[in-house]
Each structure stands twice: as structure tokens, then as C-alpha cells.
A and B are shown apart, each in its own frame.
Chain A
């Protein structure tokens, strides 16, 4: 808990986010960590190794996030993921469309940033379309549909939507006890599944990519939820999470931060705008990926193949922007950060992102045979 001036903490929070994101960008580039690639390997060639890398990241993040919460270092109920409002239709529709978009756009939000760092100009276009669509879904045209239609389908739960809260409400025992039990069981089951694979164990990059990504998310919770936590902001007399766009505790997510990065650039002279946790994280991934690409001499300029390729990437970015905001996160935001809080909506979104991506790959393959 910090009593310091929130303004003085902001650079620390943004700097911490940038550093963690830099590591994620470099390691993601090296290990080929890619959630869309994980689905592709599974659907198109029957390999689950990269899916296991993703699941390993989730397991590490669950253990770390729960550990921080149970140790009293952070309070996961202060994140956006554990609210009692279970907007199930938003998770389903948003998750599915995000999955479609990431397949058409050559990767999810984080992979887009990694590709930008390696010189892929197509991903720069995806970034811009994703950011604009995300902003339109937050506050613009798409936002009216999101709030007026999709968010109407909401179930208000008696407690937070995280599994420990739900188990505590319906089965007794405390939330903390259920968190310890469920985190151990879910993460343990994932770890057993991940390391049961001989081919996964044979490649150290699989473990490196999964563990580092999971730890980066845990580090993100620590930076935003502990370093950036102010019990009473002297300006508002309310608790605050410094340098966040949501006003809540954040970890890594790569949809809304892309929109806020564009907003920051467009409102540069507005002195009320600062480099937030999300903005720093987006820039950090690009920087980390670029540093690795330059160090290994793998940086190369890439452009669009033709008009169809251009259109598909523009559509992919737009769908990711809309879907990611609607579902409250992407493959990292909901798929790892949210999942690490054991939130029901995160798990549902994860399933529908994978379903949307897999369905799109089946459609792409069908088109080739026409």
C-alpha cells in the first residue's frame, strides 16, 4: 500500500509495465509464442505443443496471481474480471469474433505487436484498425450496439464471478480457502497435461515461452495492484490504481491499450493524458520484439501480398477491436490475465476465442477447395 503522491508513482507503474512487456515481446519472438498459432497447429496439423505453451502460461499465472492475493499483496477482486455482472452474451459473441479476427489478421493483439517489432507492415495496419475499432466499441458507434444489445444479456451474480467466490457462495467455506483449492487443482491439472507430452518437454522454448508469459502476467498484477495501489488518492479521497485506463487493477491485455496508444498520440498536447500501464505495455512488446529481431538479425520488412490480403487484415483488426472490447479482453487479457483470476467470463471467452479461430481456419481451408 502506498501513501505516496499518485503522480509520482505513475512513471514507476508505466516503467514496470514497459519492462515486463519488453521481456514478453523478446521471449514471444524467440519462442514463437502465438495463441492463434496454437489453434492453427492444433486444427491444421494436430500438434498441441503451442496450445500447451498457452496453457502453461495460464497455469503459472493462476498460481502466481492466487499466491499474491492470498499473501495479501494484491486484491484480485479489484480487477475488471471478477465483477458480479456476468455478461455472458458479450463473452460469447466478443470472444468468437475476436477469434475470427485474429485468424484473419495473422495473430492476436500481442502477436500483432510482436510482428510490428519484426518489421511486419501488415501488422501496423492491423494495429491501427484494431485500435480504431476498439475505441469505436468503447465510446463510439460500435459501443451503442455493445451496451444496448449485447450487455443487456447479463446475469447478476450474488458475488464475484470468479470460481472461488461462486463456490464459497453456494458450497460454504471461505473464498480464500476455495481460491487455494481451485488454483491448486486447476493449475495442477494444466501442468500435468502440459508436461505429459514428450514433444513439449523435448523443446525448452515451449517451457520458456509459457513460464515467462505467465510470470509477466503475475508481474503485471504486482506492478498495477501493489506498486500502483494508493489507498486514498489525495485528490479524490478514494482508492486508486495509478496510471491505469480502467481505474481498476490491471495486468496485460492487448486490445484497449492499442486504442489508448492511438488516443495518446492524437491528444498529445492534452496535458491530462499520461503514458498509462496499458500504453507502456503495448510499446514495450514492440520494443522487446524489435530488440530481439535486430539482435538476431531476423528483422525484415513485410508487406501485403494483394488486395484480398489487405482486406482480410483490415477486417481482422476491426473484428479484434470490437470483439476484444466486447469480451473484456483478448487471448492474453481474458485468456491469461483474466483466467488467472479464475473468472468464469474469462474461461468462457477463452473457449469462444478458440472456437472462432478454429471455425475461421476451417472456412479458409474450405475456400481453397472451391
Chain B
């Protein structure tokens, strides 16, 4: 999937992946896509809730090699 910016949240635990995502999205234009790579096991639930609450669409998520990869579109 194409993306405009990538955020490395590997090794970080709550609340830092969400805080960094929030900050990254504020620096992007509406419609742009942010790729986030995280390792916190709780990140899937966190990003689902973040998407639901803020309106930034979670386009996809996948897990591979003990990493979670999210693609989120800036609202």
C-alpha cells in the first residue's frame, strides 16, 4: 500500500505509539496515509479505538514477524 509518511513505533509501549501517531497526523494533509510499525501487543486495540474516536480511517492492519503494521488515512 502506498503511503506518505512512516512512523517507527517499535519498542514503544502505550501511550507513546498513539501520541507519536497523533503528532505525525497533525503534520500531514487530509487524505494522506501514515504507515505505523509497532511492537506493543496492545497497539491493535489502541489504534482501532484511536481511529474510531478521531475519524482517521484505519485502512488496514497486519501482523508479521512480531510486528504490527498499520495504515491510517488522515481525515
Contact = CB atoms under 8 A, between A and B. Distances in A.
B11 A302 contact: yes
Nearest to A46: B53
A359 to B, nearest CB: 13
Interface in A323-370: 361, 364-365, 368-369
Contacts, number: 70
A118 B42 CA distance: 11
Given A32-B45, A368-B23, A303 B14 contact: no
B31 interface: no
Interface residues of A, number: 32
A302 B45 CA distance: 18
Contacts of B10: 305
A41 interface: yes
Contacts of A106: 13-14
B58 interface: no
Interface string B53-67: 110000000000010
A233 B19 CA distance: 54
Contacts of B19: 44, 361, 364-365, 368
Contacts of A49: 49
B11 A45 contact: no
A148 to B, nearest CB: 35
A369 B23 contact: yes
Contacts of A115: 13
A36 interface: yes
A36 B19 CA distance: 14
B54 A37 contact: no
A267 B40 CA distance: 35
A364 B16 contact: yes
B13 A300 contact: no
Contacts of A302: 11, 13, 39-41
Given A44-B22, A304-B11, A364-B19, A298 B49 contact: no
Interface string B8-41: 0011111110111011000000000000000111
A298 B41 contact: yes
A122 B41 CA distance: 13
B12 A45 contact: no
Contacts of B52: 47, 199
Contacts of A46: 53-54
A107 interface: yes
A365 B12 CA distance: 14
Contact of B14 (A47, A107, A118, A304): A107
Contacts of A199: 52
B19 to A, nearest CB: 5
Given A118-B41, A300-B41, A44 B15 contact: yes
B6 to A, nearest CB: 16
Nearest to A357: B15
A119 B54 CA distance: 31
A90 interface: no
Interface of A: 32, 34, 36-37, 40-41, 44-47, 49, 103, 106-107, 115, 118, 120, 122, 199, 298, 300, 302-306, 309, 361, 364-365, 368-369
15 contacts: A36-B15, A37-B46, A44-B15, A45-B18, A45-B22, A45-B49, A46-B53, A47-B53, A49-B49, A305-B11, A305-B12, A306-B11, A365-B22, A365-B23, A368-B23
Given A44-B18, A300-B66, 13 more contacts: A34-B42, A36-B15, A37-B46, A40-B14, A40-B15, A41-B53, A106-B13, A107-B13, A122-B13, A302-B11, A305-B11, A364-B16, A368-B19
